[in-house]
Structure 1
């Protein structure tokens, strides 16, 4: 029996965040048992396994209710937070093997006893959508082009592809009520794993609001999506919405769900070339979601 610890990742002022079940001793679990955890809790779940080689400290696997994921940023951050609190991090930085490649974790204990956690993501890839694809995305979201800001729609990725949809106003963003079947259909047609509409709150201050409607995770909306936030950072850089420097980009997500989250992204540069980014946020206990899946002790 493997213990499940539920945490909330990317909390904002101690509240909200994205709930994440973490199994810190998952080497004896097979894929079916891992997916059972994700299905019973109804959230993206992270599993910590022994490394397969000397180049890594751990192997992480990730499941949503419907399938396994190559990479999940908030589950990675949550699992590192759990490992740090259990005094299981002996190396710094931490090298993690995932299905999407190696991720490096940076974990630091603050003076107040809390833990600061950041993880790496590679430089983002950004590709504009065709006019027909834009129309299909708007139809899935239930909006017309007049609701969009005067910016391109992109497919962008640091690992999984997300579709960046610039909304003219935050109010329009929070009023969205897309049809889940339409979201899945359009995402499959354009090669995306989710629609990520966003709005500029304070451009010079690098503050944004966003929502995530996944393609087929088993739930209609995500309270915080680190992979999408990283993709958004590179979309913003591509469009010239942010300056090419390493100041933090703050992305608030989950407001419409009542789970306000804050994701921080810092892009790293060599001269004027973006090399990748650091993705981080605060973590808190999520004991309020302590249900007990079959075959697992909570």
Structure 2
């Protein structure tokens, strides 16, 4: 447990770690009922990570969650939700087999799996970006760097822009113009650019990087909601029909992470490893 001055007790969980230094940390406040939105955003800014705040349930749910990054509130955060679910189970606060969680993007169902906690996401949807020139320019890419399928806006909970590059080497070499990402994302209605490469088609293994629109940091080590958007978009395009997609992220940052997306019926489930970080 970590204390931040007069802030409430904060647990830091690390989500999606796939090796030393890997994963995406998330501060979690287990009782945020007395916190204002401004205090929540300040806490996220203090830690520099997406943060989750547990509130009493609404709409018949077991609990509600609010999410903040240093710059603003988010409707949904996949890794912070997974971290919260794991933490509640770890502490014995919600021992049942499933949890229902109210978020600004809708109701999420959570359960434990062999890989750790899993949360539901609605069926994804995607559409091509008609003119991706500005996207390529801000990422420093050429048309010849792309795979033979379109740049797309895709979403389950939040819209991400999927940029298919031909190789892992091209993906790793991307050096964005960070000053232009917010404007480009705003013009296409996206919350982040998500360039990716297919590592192994047979096993539906992908590598990706996330450059958020305006979170308060330039790159994300692991982005669960982007991974579900990516997996859903590739299925819609017919690039993969696999019911199980693995996304590697964070390697170029020295924070290797691994995200699992599994499809069952008309839903996708996001899952991955979670651990408690000590202060």
TM-score normalised over the length of structure 1: 0.89
Would the alpha carbon gap of residues 192 and 240 (structure 1) be closer, same or farther in structure 2, given more than 3 Å must change? Answer: same
Question: Which of the numbers 23, 34, 40 marks the counterpart of 1:34?
Answer: 40
Question: Which of the numbers 83, 91, 95 marks the counterpart of 1:78?
Answer: 83
Superposed CA offset, 1:5-41 (max 9, x none):
1111011146511011111121111111111110000
Task: Summarize the alignment of residues 9-158 of structure 1 with structure 2, pairs less than 5 Å apart.
Answer: 9-13=15-19, 15-53=21-59, 55-107=60-112, 116-130=116-130, 132=131, 134-158=132-156
Q: Cα distance, 1:51 vs. partner?
A: 1.1
SS of residue matched to 2:96: coil
Where has structure 1 moved over 3 Å in runs of 4 or more?
A: none
Gaps of 5+ in 2: 1-6
Report the equivalent of 1:257: 253
Report the equivalent of 1:295: none
Report the equivalent of 1:293: none
Report the equivalent of 1:218: 216
Superposed CA offset, 1:116-144 (max 9, x none):
200000000110010x2x11110010111
Does the CA contact (< 8 Å) of 2:20 and 2:255 recur in 1?
no
RMSD over aligned CA atoms reads 1.3
Question: Which of the numbers 5, 8, 18 marks the counterpart of 1:2?
Answer: 8
Superposed CA offset, 1:265-288 (max 9, x none):
00123xxxxx1201000011223x
Counterpart Cα distance in 2 of 1:15 and 1:40: 20
TM-score normalised over the length of structure 2: 0.95
Q: Cα distance, 1:226 vs. partner?
A: 0.3
Q: How many residues align?
A: 273
Does the CA contact (< 8 Å) of 1:24 and 1:82 recur in 2?
no
